[in-house]
């Protein structure tokens, strides 16, 4: 399949740099300077507008949302793939359930932000013992996802591995699904789950952040002070990402103080706590545009609308995949290039 229209030539030419939707830790050698460039931001937002216009006759997310809200909370089925190396990284079903609870709390606004109208249901959990995938999930992203991925465009596949302590996770955007469905999903560091060993990022908000990208959100500091910023109307412009536990600040001439505690920024987990209503609308609109398609409604088995917090699928026995000889490719785009 060809690359999606929103994956611009700039993305293809990016070469060695940070994954475009990565969450970087403070002090990382490479920050957001090599994140999406303005042309990629324009391409993603233009593709969303075009797709919404085509499906709903309008790109006005408030109007679209008013129709969607009446259908109740959007529940996303989640397939959780734990990749481990022996005992290292072997997350328990209980740890996965805590992550799910954190997702549901964060997206419902129970950490302090707006209720996005989005919830999550655990639809599957498996464990794979594969040393190379575990240690180099970016390098082996393709083979790892091709082996483990389940479901269609409505299913959120989450992979845990040793992503790193500078880059905590990476995600695809919904605009990319059409071009590369097998790569769709979110990869997070196994130490970032609630109670994990990454001290500053141990509340499970790395998954919250990366899934925000999977649902169509950009960083709040995207494009700096230059319009359209992140393209969301109620997240004030912000010149650069925060780090640590940020003070209130206002870095752009436009209205509003910086959204320093937003989940789509880079604060420590202890200092991020919310999405905005506009981000909720953006996620639901992106879902309607890119993921809730191909069937008459999203009530199919792939995206059952159930109550948030419905009992998760019972965690199955660990599934062990025999390690394979990894292909030699794409070393320049690996995390090693971030040093
Ligand atoms: Zn990010």
What pTM value is reported for the model?
A: 0.81
Place 20 in a pLDDT band, splitting at 50, 70 and 90: low
Measured distance CA(206)–CA(263) in Å, rounded = 9
Place 123 in a pLDDT band, splitting at 50, 70 and 90: very high
Residues near ion ligand 1 (Cβ under 5 Å): 23
pLDDT at position 34: 40
Spacing, Cα 36 to ligand 1 middle (Å): 10
Most confident stretch, 9-23, 105-119, 318-332: 105-119
Out of 61, 141, 178, 210, the active site residue is: 210
Q: Does position 269 have pLDDT exceeding 80, yes or no?
A: yes
Spacing, Cα 213 to ligand 1 middle (Å): 7
With beta carbons less than 8 A apart as the criterion, state whether 38 and 8 touch: no
pLDDT at position 301: 39
Spacing, Cα 21 to ligand 1 middle (Å): 5
pLDDT in tens, 300-313: 334 333 333 333 33
Q: Does position 316 have pLDDT exceeding 80, yes or no?
A: no
User: Selecting from 3.20.20.70, 3.40.390.10, 3.40.50.300, 3.20.180.10, what CATH number does the domain 20-57+73-321 have?
Assistant: 3.40.390.10
Report the chain's mean pLDDT, rounded to a whole number.
81
Angle (CA) 270-211-40 rounded to 5° is: 110
**Whole-number percent of the chain with pLDDT over 70:** 75
Q: Does position 115 have pLDDT exceeding 60, yes or no?
A: yes
Spacing, Cα 159 to ligand 1 middle (Å): 16
Residue 238 designated active-site: no
Tokens at residue 199, please? 């001290």
Residue 175, helix vs strand vs coil: helix
Helix (DSSP H) and strand (DSSP E) numbers for the chain: 8, 6
Spacing, Cα 57 to ligand 1 middle (Å): 30
pLDDT in tens, 65-84: 777 666 689 999 999 999 99
Tokens at residue 131, please? 């040393």
Spacing, Cα 216 to ligand 1 middle (Å): 11
- Residue ranges per structural domain of the chain: 20-57+73-321
């Amino acid at each position: 399949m060809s690359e999606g229209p929103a994956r611009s030539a700039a993305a293809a030419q990016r070469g060695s740099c940070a994954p475009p939707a990565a969450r970087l830790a403070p002090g990382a050698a490479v920050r957001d300077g090599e994140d999406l460039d303005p042309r990629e931001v324009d391409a993603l937002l233009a593709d969303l507008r075009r797709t919404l216009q085509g499906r709903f006759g309008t790109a006005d997310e408030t109007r679209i949302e008013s129709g969607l809200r009446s259908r109740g909370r959007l529940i996303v089925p989640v397939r959780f793939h734990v990749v481990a190396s022996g005992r290292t990284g072997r997350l328990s079903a209980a740890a996965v359930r805590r992550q799910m609870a954190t997702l549901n709390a964060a997206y419902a606004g129970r950490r302090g932000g707006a209720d996005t109208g989005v919830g999550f249901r655990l639809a599957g959990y498996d464990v794979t013992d594969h040393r190379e995938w575990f240690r180099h999930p970016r390098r082996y992203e393709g083979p790892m996802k091709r082996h483990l991925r389940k479901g269609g465009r409505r299913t959120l596949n989450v992979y845990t591995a040793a992503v790193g302590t500078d880059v905590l996770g990476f995600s695809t955007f919904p605009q990319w699904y059409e071009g590369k469905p097998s790569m769709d999903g979110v990869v997070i560091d196994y130490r970032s789950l609630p109670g994990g060993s990454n001290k500053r990022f141990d509340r499970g908000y790395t998954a919250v952040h990366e899934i925000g990208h999977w649902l169509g959100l950009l960083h709040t500091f995207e494009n700096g002070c230059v319009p359209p910023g992140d393209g969301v109307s109620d997240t004030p412009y912000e010149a650069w990402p925060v780090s640590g536990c940020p003070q209130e600040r206002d870095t752009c001439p436009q209205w509003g103080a910086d959204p320093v505690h937003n989940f789509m920024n880079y604060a420590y987990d202890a200092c991020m706590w919310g999405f905005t209503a506009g981000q909720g609308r953006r996620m639901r609109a992106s879902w309607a545009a890119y993921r809730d398609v191909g069937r008459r409604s999203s009530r199919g088995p792939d995206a059952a609308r159930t109550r948030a917090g419905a009992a998760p699928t019972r965690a199955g026995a660990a599934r062990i995949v025999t390690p394979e000889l990894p292909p030699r490719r794409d070393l320049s785009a690996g995390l090693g290039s971030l040093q």
